[in-house]
A and B are shown apart, each in its own frame.
Chain A
Amino acid sequence: MVTDAVVVSGTGLSKTYRRNAELVHALREVSLVLHPGELVALVGPSGSGKSTLLNVLCGWERADAGALTWGAALAGRQAEDLSWGELALIPQALGLLEDLTMGENVSLPGRLTGAPDRGGKAARELMTSVGIDHLADRYPKQASLGEQQRCCVSRALLLEPAIVLADEPTAHQDARWTEVIFTAFRRLVRSGSVCLIATHNPETWEYADRILSMHDGELREGAPAPVH
């Protein structure tokens, strides 16, 4: 259930960087507010600034201008200080540890944050829900990209974080597994978390409570205008 409370709000976020001689405006005075219990789809063409916005939100990149404010339980915190239980990521690169099995990868956040018990039952349930429980003892390289991606999603959801930032989390999924993954996201947001999902796939928009469109570094509410 979406509330008026604010998990994070960004105001006038701008980010410019230089690519050789060219000046690239990745973010142009972007403002957004994310509320608990909502699943927000971030859509836009490649190079529109989606990944830069996710980087700024997770603290791996600083905006040149503007302010980012965390609210609710995260009030007063800096993005880079947030733990996996507060802010989890699903990057395009997946970032699974090659030396750990799929099961160990999913339960790793629990082990590293001192909650190993969550690595057991919760991890198995999550893996079962996304159809990779039978791959628990396999190494990532012994699984398909789609299976690895679902492992990555399970890892992000393990500690039921307050906010999930996902970059194309269904890029390697078919329609069935896309639905399974978004169902998992929806289950999370029902508990008061917020998911910001960068996606190209218009079929996934239907799972979103809101759609934010990016184009040339500018953000606006709603789906992008159809291209003819």
Chain B
Amino acid sequence: MTLLEPTRPATRRTRAATRPRRGGGVILLPPWTRAPLLSLGQPAVILAVLGAAAILACASSSAALFLSSAASESLRVQLAAECDDAAYPEVEQLGVRGFSLEEGQGQQLNEQVSTSMTAQGLAPPYRVQRSSGTVSLNSDTESTLGQLFYRDGTADNIEILDGGTGPGLLLPAFAAQRLDVGVGDPVLAGGYDVAVAGIYQDLFTEQVPREYWCSYSGLFLNEASLDPPPPALIIATDPTIIDEVERLLSQSFQTTSVDRSWISPIETDGITLSEAERIVGQRDRAFEESGIANQFDRTGGTGLLPELVERTTLIRNGLRGPVVPIALGGSILALLLVAAAGSYWADRRVREVRLLSSRGVGPTALAGKAALELAIPAIAGTLLGWLLSQWLIKVLGPNPAVDPSAPVQAAVTAAVGLLLGMVLLATVAGLRARGTAERTIGLRQSWTSRLPWELLLLAAALAAWLQLRNEDGVVIDRNVAQVNLLLVSFPLLFLAGAAVLAVRLLAALLPILRRRAGRWRSAPYLAVSRVAASRLVSAGLLAAVSMPIGVLVYASTLTDTTEYTLAAKAGVVVGSDIAVISVDRPVRSAAIDEVGTIVARYPYGSVDGQDVTVLAIDPETFMEFAYWDDRFADVPLAELLAALSGEDGSAGVNALSMGFSEDTLTVALGIRDVEMDVVARVDTFPGRRLPVPMLIVRAEQLGEIDRTAGRFTEIWSTSAENAVREALPDDIRVLRVQSTDTVFRVANFLSVSWTFGYLQALAAFVGAVAVGGLLLYLETRQRTRVASYALARRMGLKPASHLRSLVLELTVLLGLAFAIGAALAWAAVLVVYRGLEIDPTRPPGPLLTVPLITVLVAAAATVAVALLAAAYSQRAASRADMVEVLRLGS
């Protein structure tokens, strides 16, 4: 049976053999019916298609998974900044002045709410009940104020000093002492007569269980000032005690009422957005079914989850804008690799394809054959890519947790990608097969290939840039920073267009280079000859590699710039890593010098009625601890500090000015007017917390300022908070501690770094596509050149020379691609980075930061790829079976 012999009756067979086949009928012939199994004999083709399909599936399915993973991480970051129970779903009945529950109604409400919450699938709630304000607490002789509090399990989370077994109230030690009462003594709480059931250790003096008390620390700690702690936290052993107090309060003219909450614990570790949305929905339904009707349609406490869900949704939606186009771009590039795999199939099956073509089989039928042959590896590759993308997101993504729907969405997009990929693969295979069989000798380059199509891309990039000039690079929506899509589309268009244009111009120089190479040694001569002979491939390779390098450098530069700028903004606000703030006046000591520098802050100064902050610093220690970047001023910090310390020759105080153009200023500080001589100007200076001008002076020169000026003394330190506290004398009270970690809500800026992170992932991915394409090209090239290499060796070409020529060819090509990509990316960065302002209210503006490590790693990877590809190509050439060379037909 011949290749095209059909398994059909003889009469039809004759007709089939004499008439050219145009697809359709041929599909039932052995080359097509057996096609799915034929690819098994071509491991290289299987590998190429499998890899290309996997990369395509990975690209197309990554967006859904990435967005879900980013949402999970956003939730995690926000949850981590809150108390563990802050996000627990809560149903709350807000107290109403003058209103109280009837006897037994509290228990009934408790059962009602608990039932409605558990009916919605939430865990059985615990109960929290507390007075909305303070109530009077009277013993026989003394009185004080306290806040009534009940929560299930409280007794296990306090240290009972006395009693604690019977019903009644548990008093903190300081309140019991103030009231002069002991266990069993009666007290009047809001008029309700109740016994002291026990006395517990004051919570503000001990390390309380963080999880239990975290959300309620405001009830017993006063972190905001140096005032005494808040009113006593009076813990009821039974919620009905609070109900009774409420009844009495409602009958008097007291403003205090009682709030009741039911809180259902949830597992927040690894929680996804859809899970959080589901819980919020359960909570809302539970609230509706609970029968609670708060006045004025207030819903009361809900827990933080709804707010976190809203913010996370905002972050995810902000990410979707740039991520989806990036994924689309990646998928398009992956489709090119799939197309290359189709071409590779035609190349590997050239003999059969030629035979079929010679029998009149058209490109459509050949495309069908390719599709049938490659369907199994393509499907397997898609499955592999889908699994791979999930694994990659799990390992490298923002968070391993993804919504259950995300893999399904990913599978759908991967399937669509597969469909498109198969169509493209078959089309290219068919056309290429036909082209192989009907190659025209000396075919001239078509006029369409000479047109600089890339100018269209550059025009689009220009339009994007012009639009970007009128818009913010980073849009702040409800405090959440979102990257403008133009900031992503501009570089992609610019890099693609400019890279192709640069490569086209370079390719035009190749003939000159080739002529010069004629006088060079064998290795460079062969390298240049190869590059010049395959101008299109070389140019394609240059453009294909320069593109991911460009995207990588662009994205990583903007990522590093964003992160560095954010850190700089926080550093400027705080002044150093931390600022330990006091209203007392610590003086310089050896211990303080070890950990930080003293800065006196006068936030209420004024110059001609304009608010101004004055910082009085110690130049001797300032430089060691203050946050500084040389771009804050035109001169180094050391010179600025020297200017402050220098003799000025006038009566005024030397000052650095931030925001004033005058050379001399009269600054009102309290009751004193201080003459200041501006010795230097700065754009930004550490310690700026308010959007008002700032003057920096030498503390010693400023001298004593009266208390009416309002002064805070800060220790700016790069050490831990405890180290600073230990260095302070005992009589110095710490008002608060500010650190760079707490300046910003980190979650608000996550979408910026993730957008560029995803762009970097795209770059790495495109790099993988380029390397895959390079290997396919080298494999194809080397395979078709076995005979010529064998003969060239016979003519005297040494393997080392051949390897050197390959190394030269690939390192120069890829090195040039790296240089082009990096240079273009840098140009794109310079154009846009000023628009990357993530918080315009806080200086400094964007500080351009070079991602040195990324660039070095990319450069090393480029060189490594070039060397490995050269070694691979050399190995492929050396494996040539010389015996077959003379037997090969042309």
Listed in ascending order, the chain A residues whose CB lies under 8 Å from chain B are 51, 54-55, 58, 60-61, 83-84, 89, 91-100, 104, 108-109, 111-114, 138-139, 141-145, 148-149, 167, 172
**B525 located at the interface, meaning its Cβ lies under 8 Å from any Cβ of chain A in the complex:** yes
Residue pairs across A and B with Cβ atoms less than 8 A apart, 25 shown, are A55-B883, A55-B886, A60-B886, A61-B883, A83-B796, A84-B794, A84-B795, A89-B791, A89-B794, A91-B791, A91-B885, A91-B888, A93-B885, A93-B890, A95-B790, A97-B792, A99-B533, A99-B534, A100-B533, A111-B522, A111-B525, A114-B796, A141-B439, A148-B890, A172-B890
- 12 extra interface residue pairs, beta carbon distance < 8 Å, beyond A92-B887, A113-B796, A141-B441: A58-B794, A60-B883, A83-B796, A84-B795, A93-B885, A93-B890, A95-B791, A112-B522, A112-B796, A112-B797, A144-B441, A172-B890
Which of A91, A95, A98, A108: most chain B CB closer than 10 A? A95
State whether A96 touches B883 (Cβ < 8 A).
Answer: no
Q: How far is the CA of A114 from the CA of B533 in the complex (A)?
A: 24
State whether A97 touches B788 (Cβ < 8 A).
Answer: yes
Chain A residues near B794 (CB-CB < 8 A): 58, 84, 89
Query: Known: A97-B792, A142-B442. Contact between A167 and B886, CB under 8 A?
Result: yes
State whether A98 touches B788 (Cβ < 8 A).
Answer: yes
- The interface bits of chain B over 767-795 (1 if a CB of A lies within 8 angstroms of the residue's CB, else 0) are 00000000000000000110110111011
Chain B residues near A172 (CB-CB < 8 A): 890
Chain A residues near B533 (CB-CB < 8 A): 98-100, 139
**B334 located at the interface, meaning its Cβ lies under 8 Å from any Cβ of chain A in the complex:** no
Q: How far is the CA of A85 from the CA of B532 in the complex (A)?
A: 29
Q: How far is the CA of A210 from the CA of B890 in the complex (A)?
A: 28
Q: How far is the CA of A140 from the CA of B716 in the complex (A)?
A: 75
Specify which of B788, B795, B882 is in contact with A109 (CB 8 Å cutoff). Answer: B795
State whether B796 touches A84 (Cβ < 8 A).
Answer: yes
Q: How far is the CA of A94 from the CA of B888 in the complex (A)?
A: 9
Interface residues of B in 504-536 (CB under 8 A from A): 522, 525-526, 529-530, 532-534
Q: How far is the CA of A172 from the CA of B534 in the complex (A)?
A: 26
For the complex, would chain A's binding face be called helix, strand, loop or mixed by DSSP majority? Answer: loop
The interface size of chain B toward A, counting residues with CB under 8 Å, comes to 30
**B649 located at the interface, meaning its Cβ lies under 8 Å from any Cβ of chain A in the complex:** no
Closest A residue, CB atoms, query B887: A51
Interface residues of B in 372-412 (CB under 8 A from A): none
**B889 located at the interface, meaning its Cβ lies under 8 Å from any Cβ of chain A in the complex:** yes
Chain B residues near A108 (CB-CB < 8 A): 792, 795
**Chain B proximity of A122: nearest CB distance (Å):** 15
Interface residues of B in 283-339 (CB under 8 A from A): none
Specify which of B529, B534, B797 is in contact with A104 (CB 8 Å cutoff). Answer: B529
Q: How many A-B pairs fall under 8 Å by CB?
A: 92
**Chain B proximity of A106: nearest CB distance (Å):** 11
Chain B residues near A89 (CB-CB < 8 A): 791, 794, 886
State whether A93 touches B886 (Cβ < 8 A).
Answer: yes
- The interface bits of chain B over 4-22 (1 if a CB of A lies within 8 angstroms of the residue's CB, else 0) are 0000000000000000000
**Chain A proximity of B665: nearest CB distance (Å):** 75
State whether B795 touches A112 (Cβ < 8 A).
Answer: yes
Q: How far is the CA of A172 from the CA of B890 in the complex (A)?
A: 10
Q: How far is the CA of A83 from the CA of B45 in the complex (A)?
A: 37
Q: How far is the CA of A55 from the CA of B532 in the complex (A)?
A: 34
Which of A98, A138, A139: most chain B CB closer than 10 A? A98
Q: How far is the CA of A144 from the CA of B441 in the complex (A)?
A: 7
Chain A residues near B888 (CB-CB < 8 A): 91-93
**Chain A proximity of B785: nearest CB distance (Å):** 7
Chain A residues near B885 (CB-CB < 8 A): 60, 91, 93, 95
Chain A residues near B534 (CB-CB < 8 A): 99
State whether A142 touches B441 (Cβ < 8 A).
Answer: yes
Chain A residues near B785 (CB-CB < 8 A): 97-98
Q: How far is the CA of A213 from the CA of B779 in the complex (A)?
A: 40
Q: How far is the CA of A112 from the CA of B882 in the complex (A)?
A: 19
State whether A94 touches B882 (Cβ < 8 A).
Answer: no
State whether B787 touches A112 (Cβ < 8 A).
Answer: no
Q: How far is the CA of A189 from the CA of B824 in the complex (A)?
A: 61
Interface residues of B in 635-658 (CB under 8 A from A): none
Chain B residues near A95 (CB-CB < 8 A): 787-788, 790-792, 885
**Chain A proximity of B648: nearest CB distance (Å):** 75
Q: How far is the CA of A159 from the CA of B439 in the complex (A)?
A: 33
The list of the 7 closest CB pairs from A to B, nearest first, reads: A93-B888, A112-B796, A99-B533, A95-B787, A93-B787, A95-B791, A60-B882
State whether B522 touches A93 (Cβ < 8 A).
Answer: no
Closest A residue, CB atoms, query B793: A112
Closest B residue, CB atoms, query A171: B890
Chain A residues near B790 (CB-CB < 8 A): 95
Closest B residue, CB atoms, query A110: B795
Q: How far is the CA of A139 from the CA of B538 in the complex (A)?
A: 17
Q: How far is the CA of A43 from the CA of B530 in the complex (A)?
A: 38
